[in-house]
Structure 1
Amino acid sequence: MTVASTATPSFRAQSDGPSLPELMTALPVATLVVGPDNRIADANVRAETLLNMARSAIVGSDITRTIRMAEAGARFDIWHSNKPIAAYDIKVHAGRTAEMEVDLMIAPIIDHEGWRIVSIHAQSQARKIGHRGTTGGARSAIGAAAILAHEIKNPLSGIRGAAQLLESGNNGHDTTLTQLICNEVDRIAALIDRMQDFTTDRTLECRPGNIYPLIDRAANIAAAGFAKDVKIIRRYDPSLPFAIINDDALVQVMINLIKNAAEALEHVDDGCIRVETAFRHGVSVVMGEGKGSAVLPIEILIIDNGPGVPDHILDHLFNPFITGKRDGQGLGLALVDKLVRDMNGFVQYSRDQEAGESTFRILLPMGMG
């Protein structure tokens, strides 16, 4: 049984164009068509390979049994929703294959209630676009930061004090070396302060709030300082409702992302940063770690026309200490990821090669206001 005979009429862009079954076969990812009763109505060749099942065995089977969540307590009700759902980095038992980590994209078919297209990305698309769905890197950073803060920061104050004593007893002679010591100690202490942002697991106090004054505050700080030579364009959806946020956290997230964009434009003529907002109806994300799915309709985009993230760090973009910058410390994006997750949101990176643009996309829960 195919969708052409059970769900939607055959599609032909032209009289000699490809049929829907031909398009299904050509799709580069495993794709299933699921009916209102959760029975699989069609499957392409990629799905047969991924599930290690013949199409005749897949068609007619129950999607909830064919793709089973592997994580304990992760039986999300994603198969009984008529809303688009993106489930990143989740572990499943798919067909006759062993446990694997995949991304699931579920899209309702317009005008055919209950019918859905399910695409299964066996190689985590979330990692390809720079989203880190797990928190292992952040947890490692928490431990490392706590140790470094204890073992390094206290001795630094003693070193600085000794340098100041040397300087005061130098009677006006050259103080270059003592100033160098003080400056380097201050730089390392500032780094430790930034690392200590990772040492707490306390829950952020979030409440419904207007994101626009906070975005504007971050953009104004950027325009007056590190992004003063970059054009910043703001395109806001005026009808956007409140989001559930922590004010300070959102400002910090925006500053870090705008700074990241500004640094990417350092050697770009006519560099431009766009900050855009939108309301995305029906966008749900499966958060992982047994948290279930979350409706995250508030979207903030930070877009730049820079060269993009180097390929060799894409898989670990949001992990601490990963950076493509010569003098970077690799903490800015890791902190962005942590703060957005602390606000029960989601952040991802994507690159549009054709447009020559990089985009950081933040999704946040909606609040009443």
Structure 2
Amino acid sequence: MYSLLIDHLSTAVLQLNRELCIEYLNPSAEMMLEVSRRRIYGQDLAAAFFENNESREALLNAIESGHAFTKREAEITLTTGKTVLCDYNVTPVMGALNLTDSLLIELHPRDRMKRISQEDELIANHQTSKELIRGLAHEIKNPLGGIRGAAQLISRVFNDEGLKDYTQVIIEESDRLRDLVDRLLGPRQLPQYRPLNIHRVTERVNQLISVESEGQITLTRDYDPSIPDLVGDEAQLIQAVLNVMRNAMQALLNQEDNQDKHITVSTRTLRQFTIGAKRHRLVCRISIVDNGPGIPDNIMKTLFYPMVSGRADGTGLGLSIAQSVVHQHHGIIECKSQPQLTEFNILIPIEKTVAG
């Protein structure tokens, strides 16, 4: 009964015997440690992860003394070679004669909590900027209509050709400013959700980028063909992925060196993955990686804000619009960057239905 309840916990839980051999671990521990419990039952703790000799001594001391302890910000190394930052609690389980029968270890990954906190901040900031833009757009478009109408009226009333040239400039500039505001607001139409194969989206974008770059960039595909269909608006997702890839393409083409310019597009599924505060059974990840100069540190935190761009000729709207589209699909776009390695991850839940 208790093991069934522990199996449904999101916390990673292990049970060790007095010799520090694994007697039990729940599914959350399997995912975190990237192991199969069927294969490591009865094996030493090192078959799952290793921290250092001092931590092993601390576990043995807990068995002998019966005292629980907590370790903060421990760096554990998995058998795959991956390093995970986590907190863990060790609780002795008493058996007969008040002797410690086993140890219960609860692992709390810190990097995951840090990522969730960053995502919450990103979502909140994006929502705030979107509301600000909507209010600003309303205040701009109302007088724009009046300015344009007045210019048209002046053009009709007066027959002076020189004056018409000036009124035409007013009309054209009003239209240009209106179009800019519309672009700030993002897609005008509500998403048309239908089942779609994400690789139809990525292949369409690859074709467009290949044409736009005129063969100056090498495109590499690394797809997982087993990804099931997700529910979304294909046209809007194409626009979102295109905006991200176009951003990578422009960064590469603006480089003055002659190094090979490369973009890799990969797709994977992530299980039991949290986006913001919600945990999803299955998530599709589209990774777009380029070997460009990287994103300056001073704009990383505001990267998805409207009008923020690292290029002199950039509008700063592409990534903001892409983030808005992905948010409508209950997903998020994350970015990490350093020179020669910039990675955008587009994360979209794979659900049977998507709310509008």
Tell me the TM-score range normalised by the shorter chain. Answer: 0.5 to 0.7
Please list the CA deviations of residues 11-44 of structure 1 after superposition, one character each: whole Å capped at 9, or x if unmatched: 59xxxxxx7325869xxxxxxxxxxxxxx98754
Q: Secondary structure at the match of 1:233?
A: strand
C-alpha distance 234-21 of structure 1, shift in aligned 2 (>3 A): closer
How much has 1:209 moved relative to structure 2? 1.1
Which aligned pairs between 1:82-101 and structure 2 lie closer than 5 A? none
Q: Secondary structure at the match of 2:295?
A: coil
TM-score (norm. length: structure 2): 0.62
Match of 1:120 in 2: 110
Match of 2:344 in 1: 360
Number of residue-to-residue matches in the alignment: 280
Residue identity (%):
27
Which aligned pairs between 1:240-259 and structure 2 lie closer than 5 A? 240-259=227-246
Letter in 1 for 2:73: R
Q: Point out the more displaced range, 341-350 or 313-322.
A: 313-322
How much has 1:343 moved relative to structure 2? 0.9
Answering whether residue 266 of structure 2 is matched by residue 277 of structure 1, we say: yes
Q: Specify which of 258, 265, 280 is matched with residue 294 of structure 1.
A: 280
C-alpha distance 299-123 of structure 1, shift in aligned 2 (>3 A): closer
For the 8 Å contact 1:206–1:245, the answer to whether it is kept is yes
Match of 1:21 in 2: 52
Please list the CA deviations of residues 267-324 of structure 1 after superposition, one character each: whole Å capped at 9, or x if unmatched: 2245635352333352511431xxx311343221112221122111222323344333
TM-score (norm. length: structure 1): 0.60
The root-mean-square deviation of aligned C-alpha atoms, in Å, is: 4.4
Please list the CA deviations of residues 176-200 of structure 1 after superposition, one character each: whole Å capped at 9, or x if unmatched: x666544433331121102223899
How much has 1:349 moved relative to structure 2? 0.8
Measure, in 2, the Cα distance between the counterparts of 1:308 and 1:321: 19
Q: Secondary structure at the match of 1:135?
A: helix
C-alpha distance 122-218 of structure 1, shift in aligned 2 (>3 A): closer
* Long gaps (5+) in structure 1: 13-18, 26-39, 48-54, 63-113
Letter in 1 for 2:304: F
Measure, in 2, the Cα distance between the counterparts of 1:309 and 1:118: 31
For the 8 Å contact 2:248–2:263, the answer to whether it is kept is no
Match of 1:239 in 2: 226
Letter in 2 for 1:192: V
Q: Specify which of 147, 150, 153 is matched with residue 159 of structure 1.
A: 147
Answering whether residue 207 of structure 2 is matched by residue 220 of structure 1, we say: yes
For the 8 Å contact 2:73–2:110, the answer to whether it is kept is no
Measure, in 1, the Cα distance between the counterparts of 2:162 and 2:198: 52
* Long gaps (5+) in structure 2: 1-14, 23-42, 57-66, 75-86, 94-103
Answering whether residue 32 of structure 2 is matched by residue 5 of structure 1, we say: no
Match of 2:178 in 1: 189
Name whichever structure is richer in strand by fraction. Answer: 2
Q: Specify which of 259, 262, 280 is matched with residue 249 of structure 2.
A: 262
Measure, in 1, the Cα distance between the counterparts of 2:210 and 2:294: 21
Please list the CA deviations of residues 27-85 of structure 1 after superposition, one character each: whole Å capped at 9, or x if unmatched: xxxxxxxxxxxxx98754536xxxxxxx9x942189xxxxxxxxxxxxxxxxxxxxxxx
For the 8 Å contact 1:303–1:359, the answer to whether it is kept is yes
Q: Secondary structure at the match of 1:347?
A: strand
Measure, in 1, the Cα distance between the counterparts of 2:163 and 2:184: 36
Q: Secondary structure at the match of 2:205?
A: helix
Larger radius of gyration: 2
For the 8 Å contact 2:227–2:284, the answer to whether it is kept is yes
